[in-house]
Chains A and B, each alone.
Chain A
Amino acid sequence: MSTLEIRDLHVSVETKEGAKPILRGVDLTIASGQTHAIMGPNGSGKSTLAYSLAGHPKYQITGGEVRLDGQDVLAMSVDERARAGMFLAMQYPVEVPGVSVSNFLRTAKTALDGEAPALRHWVKDVKTAMERLRMDPAFADRSVNEGFSGGEKKRHEILQMELLKPKIAILDETDSGLDVDALRIVSEGINRVREGGEVGVMLITHYTRILRYVQPDFVHVFVDGRIAEEGGPELAEQLEAEGYDRFLAPA
């Protein structure tokens, strides 16, 4: 059982005009077995939250705290956060030329576990996970994300989530740019990981579409760098019908 606690998180990015606040006091608690959908209009700070939690150097934490089972996440380096159990499925996964998917996955697994995985089991696990995500076996030999289509990149992110078994998985717009078939395959992958009941999921999305496949326990509406409204799955349905307009209307 793990818990990620985000308390009054403030984050800025450096711009030419100086530090610009993006997150203005985010409070959120995610426990194992829970799925929290973070929804909101473009520019509301959803991705900033995701990358800040993962430790991207571009984002400066100006206040608040983040704890995973009591440990201070913000004091950890990027790799330490991952080894503590955090995982970020990126909206725009990065190409790493010359590094094969299989080498990358094995290196990551070894780093997370502190020892190399038993070869025979590992090869089988990778093969099975790839099959279930309808990924061609040839993917294992391709360079990480290089020349992948949008859908292939997202499947590769979910493949990592399945194999690396994080405590808290942050999925940053994993649904964006996917056609319905790919969305279904990716959603099935997310649901397989959720079935174990061991992962807490932060599902960041602009659209309600993915929520038909991945049922959230909680929905949080993100506006202007903080959570403006919270509720159960019914909130997503309401947003589907009404859009974000009522949150954007000037006060």
Chain B
Amino acid sequence: MTTELSTSLPTDHSRAVADGAHSHGLVPEASRAARLTSFDPADFPVPTGREEEWRFSPMDRLAPLFDAAGEGLREGGVQVTVVNPPEVGVEIVGRDDPRLGSVGRPGDRTAVTAWHGFTDATIVTVPPQTVASSATSVRVEGLDRTGEPTAAHLMVHAGELSEAVVVIDHVGAATLTETVEIQADDGAHLTVVSIQDWEPGSVHAAAHRLSVGRDATVKHVVVTLGGDVVRITPDAGFTGEGGDVQALGLYFADADQHQEHRLFIDHNQPSCRSRVTYKGALQGDGARTVWVGDVLIQAHAEGTDTYELNRNLVLTDGARADSVPNLEIETGEIEGAGHASATGRFDDEQLFYLMSRGVHEIDARRLVVRGFFAELIGQVGVPEVEERLLAAIEDELAASMAALEGER
């Protein structure tokens, strides 16, 4: 059995590949603490779909990213363009750059193929004590409509006491497995927004690995709108006391889309705080969302304060949302720990109340859905992103409202 802990942030390659034999996969590990992480592809056999971390996923559609033949992935399937304020550094580096892979290790098959699949990586660096004058925009554009798998690697490094916002935008068409390393040094205030707004036909797996320094604050925002299959696995850990992670997620799944978000917050340091809030709406036949929120409070992580919440709003028949919060607590000396999860159908009583005031059904539905996301969007704190999210929700609603009008 494996005893490898996924908690030694930061880590390095030499240690990472030194694991012994593992058994994992067919039998779900009881504890998230026991879940293997490694840079060695041999540690992650091609999954069958019966494994705990894959049991909700559409394995056939993700298969190209598993690289079953071990041939590696093609180059150049995506083009990365960065627009940055002058204070923020941007580098394109080769895979031998020692900074790469310093934030955690791959935790599943697509993450390990991502690690071995890229040739160049993009590193965004906010120097210590620097306050970025505007948001840094990282555009990851998919250029591939053939379904051939490709890999990408991004790293965002916020130096000590720096402040910055980085928005990563995924557009175009791609079959992509991606790593996003996010490192916030002591006292940094970093916001990273990752938007998945792919064209239909796209398949995207992304491992986000976060390292949060002493008294650092990281706001990690995931927005998933477009793409056939999107599976994001943010893993966060701390390197000092007083760290704060706010993980926000917003997703909107239409017919036959699969959107999966699996988070792991590892409270591996005392007196750190985490807040996870993910909200999703689903509409159309075969719309599918999965949210898994694992939080581990290690024995020495006294004074931990954590709360995670997932809400799903099912707008039509034929859509399915899974929501699985897991909280493992190894010490009782904590500030607070809790989770809440709810998946509800569209509330007809809300609709009745609004309509009884003369509001047309379509406007009433729009109000309710906007209201469902409103507080979450307000927490993003980046005005241009907030505006875009509101517009995206309007677009999503326009589709369902057209269907509703068609019924009349």
In the complex the two chains form, is B370's CB within 8 Å of A98's CB? yes
Task: Tell me if B's interface is mostly helix, strand, loop or mixed.
Answer: helix
- Please state if B367 and A104 are interface contacts (CB–CB under 8 Å): yes
Contact for A79 among B348, B350, B360, CB less than 8 A: B360
CA distance A164 to B357 in the complex (A): 8
CB proximity of B181 to chain A, nearest CB, Å: 34
Q: Which residue of A lies closest to B376 (CB)?
A: A98
Residue A33, interface by CB 8 Å: no
Complex interface: chain B residues within 8 A of A97 (CB) = 371-372, 374-375
Q: Does B14 contact A (CB under 8 A)?
A: no
Distance of A82 from chain B, by nearest CB (Å) = 4
Interface pair B356/A111, CB less than 8 Å apart: no
- The answer to whether B371 and A98 have CB atoms under 8 Å apart is yes
A78 at the interface (CB under 8 A from B): yes
Find chain A residues with CB under 8 A from B360 CB: 79, 111
Which residues does chain A contribute within 8 Å of B357, judged by CB atoms?
82, 87, 104, 108, 111-112, 160, 164
Given that A57-B348, A77-B361, A107-B363 are known contacts, is A96 also in contact with B354, CB under 8 Å in the complex? Answer: yes
- Say yes or no for A143: interface residue by CB 8 A criterion: yes
B-side interface residues, number (CB < 8 Å):
24
B359 and A79 contacting across the interface, CB-CB below 8 Å: yes
Interface centre among B354, B358, B372 (most CB of A within 10 A): B358
In the complex formed, the residue of A with least CB distance to B311 is A97
Residue of B nearest to A88 (CB): B356
Within 8 A of B (CB), among A69-88: 77-79, 81-83, 87-88
Residue B349, interface by CB 8 Å: yes
Residues of A within 8 A of B372 (CB): 97-98
The 5 A-B pairs of least Cβ separation, nearest first, read A98-B371, A98-B374, A82-B358, A108-B357, A94-B353
A-side residues, CB < 8 A to B, are 54-57, 77-79, 81-83, 87-88, 90, 93-99, 103-104, 107-108, 111-112, 143-144, 160, 164
Interface residues of B (CB under 8 A from A): 347-350, 352-361, 363-364, 367-368, 370-375
9 A–B contacts, CB within 8 A, in A order: A82-B358, A90-B353, A93-B353, A98-B372, A107-B359, A107-B367, A108-B354, A111-B360, A111-B363
